[in-house]
Amino acid sequence: YGLVRELQQEGAFSLLSLGITHAIAFPVYNPSTPQRKMLLWVGYEFEPTITEVTSLARLSEKASEKMSAEERIKELNNEVLETKERSAQREKLFSHLAHDIRTPINNIRSLIELLLMSTEDEEEQTIYKSAQSNCDGLAELFQDMLYYLQEQSSCLRAEPKRFDLNKLIEDTVAGLQLKAKSNNLNLYTRLEADIELTADKGHIRRILTNLISNSLKYTKHGECCVSASLSLQGDLYLSVKDTGLGMTREQVDSVFQPFVRHHRTQADGLGLGMAVFHMLVTKNNGTITVDSEVGKGTEVRIVIPSKYIRKDVKRIGHKHAKVLLVDDDKDLVDSCAKILSQGTLQVLTASTVEEALAIIEKEEIDVLMTDSNMPNGGGERLVRVFRKKDAKATVFVISGSDDPTIRAIFQTLNITRFITKPADFSDLRSWIESGQEREDGSFEEAA
């Protein structure tokens, strides 16, 4: 600081004319423009005191600190925005990837199912069942890879919903019985009274499928038991126990690591199934314990806290429901309608939104099954119109994408279930005929 008349800067004369005789100036650091020399400048009509000089020095330091902090906050905010943008792009990529792969798998599976129904020749049925099994295996492998990639990209989320756990276990086990019988294994269940679980149903189905499949893969003789029970505190104990090859302590410690496979010569696979199993259990508030002994077998137990459990589920049937099936893929509509019509359901079809709206206007529909992605407003427009006419009827939305944004839109419309392809229409038919009713009269989600 010093006398203004000694300043070698333009404007000093004008300051003197204003009566400013002394000045104090301190540098202020701006990280965004380090090449610019910013100053905190104060003029006086008298000589400033040492206290004033010291105070301004501290003020310049604080100004520098604040500007640095604000600059860092801006940088962090930009990083957050960039991260969100990348995350949104990844989710969009996963959504498109899921749709583009699941849709043809779903179409192939439906055609194979029709071929199975159209023949009584045992040799042909064996071939078709093998093709169906391979189709299901491809879908499962893709789903595991998708879950793993979503978790690695922080895009994997659980969407809890209440459902009948015992029904899900029974259906999952039934779907794996063929695999068990082909290996001469006894696959069975031990279940308590009906239990409702609040969790992501798709995740729990995958948890069961991966765990039971893994158990069957490494069991060469004997049995595999799937059990569900409640503790005295009301916690859920879900267990899969087998008489398989078993594992050492070291193998148990690494069993949930991705791409790790034990007994390599005994079974095929990528080594993702148990890693995905662990991810999904954690996402749905569960804990895992593993007991295993080489040569005697393995038991894997999942514990889910009581606050997510409810007992006593009421079931009813709906055997003669009128079902409207809508998809802009006419071949898929025709093949799936034939599958649904094998039971007691009355099935109507439409391949455009306009056709479906015309049917809804004339008919009393009990169950609406619609694709999510169609021209002229798609499934969203159709469901909105249908809900205005009937707020309680059952609505299934079938999508080739599991994009959370799309799912959330339909959930606001009070749909019964959002299904990602490939859909098992035989299973849906059985569920509708012997489903479970909500308190409001619509149907609860089934397996």
- DSSP class of residue 437 equals B
Cα 202 from Cα 205, distance rounded (Å): 5
- Does 438 fall in a domain? no
Q: Are 222 and 297 in contact (CB under 8 A)?
A: yes
Cα 430 from Cα 318, distance rounded (Å): 10
Question: Which pLDDT value is given to residue 125?
Answer: 86
Residue at which a domain ends, from 259, 290, 311: 311
Joined together, the tokens standing for residue 233 give 């505190």
Question: Which pLDDT value is given to residue 369?
Answer: 93
- Does 270 fall in a domain? yes
Secondary structure class of 333 (helix, strand, coil): helix
Q: Which helix (H) or strand (E) holds 79?
A: helix 50-117
CB neighbour class for 391 (10 Å; exposed up to 12, middle 13-18, buried from 19): exposed
| Cβ-based neighbours of 427, under 8 Å, separated by 6 or more | 171, 447
58 & 22 share domain: yes
Sheet holding 2-3, edge to edge: 2-3, 22-28, 38-44
This model's pTM is above 0.75:
no
Residue at which a domain ends, from 270, 287, 311: 311
129 & 13 share domain: no
Q: Are 198 and 161 in contact (CB under 8 A)?
A: yes
Tell me which residue range forms the domain holding 354: 322-433
Question: Which pLDDT value is given to residue 134?
Answer: 80
CATH number at residue 370: 3.40.50.2300
Q: Are 20 and 37 in contact (CB under 8 A)?
A: no
Give the count of domains, the chain.
Answer: 4
Question: Which pLDDT value is given to residue 63?
Answer: 76
- Does 443 fall in a domain? no
183 & 291 share domain: yes
199 & 224 share domain: yes
Nearest residue to 372 via CA among 398, 348, 350: 398
148 & 185 share domain: no
DSSP track, 163-230: EEHHHHHHHHHHHHHHHHHHTT-EEEEEE-S-EEEEE-HHHHHHHHHHHHHHHHHT--SSEEEEEEEE
- Does 316 fall in a domain? no
- Does 444 fall in a domain? no
Cα 279 from Cα 285, distance rounded (Å): 10
Strand partners, 368: 324, 395
Question: Which pLDDT value is given to residue 123?
Answer: 87
Side-chain-side CA neighbours of residue 282 (13 Å): 9
300 & 336 share domain: no
300 & 241 share domain: yes
Q: Encode the chain (447 residues) as per-residue pLDDT tens digits.
A: 555 455 555 555 566 667 777 777 777 766 666 555 677 777 777 777 888 878 888 887 887 777 777 776 777 777 777 766 776 776 677 677 777 777 888 888 888 888 888 888 888 888 888 888 788 878 888 888 888 887 887 778 888 888 889 889 998 998 899 889 988 999 999 987 678 888 888 899 999 999 999 999 899 999 999 999 887 677 889 999 999 999 999 999 998 888 777 665 455 556 788 889 999 999 998 999 999 999 999 999 999 988 777 665 444 446 678 899 999 888 888 888 888 888 888 899 999 999 999 999 888 898 999 998 888 888 899 999 999 888 778 899 998 877 778 888 888 888 888 888 878 888 788 878 775 444 333 344 433
Question: Which pLDDT value is given to residue 347?
Answer: 92
Question: Which pLDDT value is given to residue 385?
Answer: 92
Secondary structure class of 346 (helix, strand, coil): strand
Question: Which pLDDT value is given to residue 2?
Answer: 53
Q: Are 338 and 114 in contact (CB under 8 A)?
A: yes
CATH number at residue 212: 3.30.565.10
Cα 310 from Cα 304, distance rounded (Å): 12
Question: Which pLDDT value is given to residue 383?
Answer: 93
170 & 296 share domain: yes
- DSSP class of residue 345 equals -
15 & 136 share domain: no
- Does 185 fall in a domain? yes
3-state helix, strand, coil split of the chain in percent (to 5) is: 50, 20, 30
Q: Which helix (H) or strand (E) holds 93?
A: helix 50-117
219 & 335 share domain: no
Question: Which pLDDT value is given to residue 320?
Answer: 76
Burial 189-222 (b: 16+ CB within 10 A, else e): eebeebbbbbbbbbbbbbbbbbbbbbbbbbbeee
Q: How many helices (H) and strands (E) does the chain have?
A: 12, 16
Residue at which a domain ends, from 81, 100, 135: 81
284 & 166 share domain: yes
- Does 439 fall in a domain? no
217 & 327 share domain: no
Question: Which pLDDT value is given to residue 146?
Answer: 82
Question: Which pLDDT value is given to residue 327?
Answer: 92
Cα 375 from Cα 397, distance rounded (Å): 15
- Does 441 fall in a domain? no
Question: Which pLDDT value is given to residue 219?
Answer: 93
Question: Which pLDDT value is given to residue 223?
Answer: 95
Question: Which pLDDT value is given to residue 12?
Answer: 58
Question: Which pLDDT value is given to residue 292?
Answer: 94
Cα 106 from Cα 111, distance rounded (Å): 9
Joined together, the tokens standing for residue 396 give 């299934």
Question: Which pLDDT value is given to residue 298?
Answer: 95
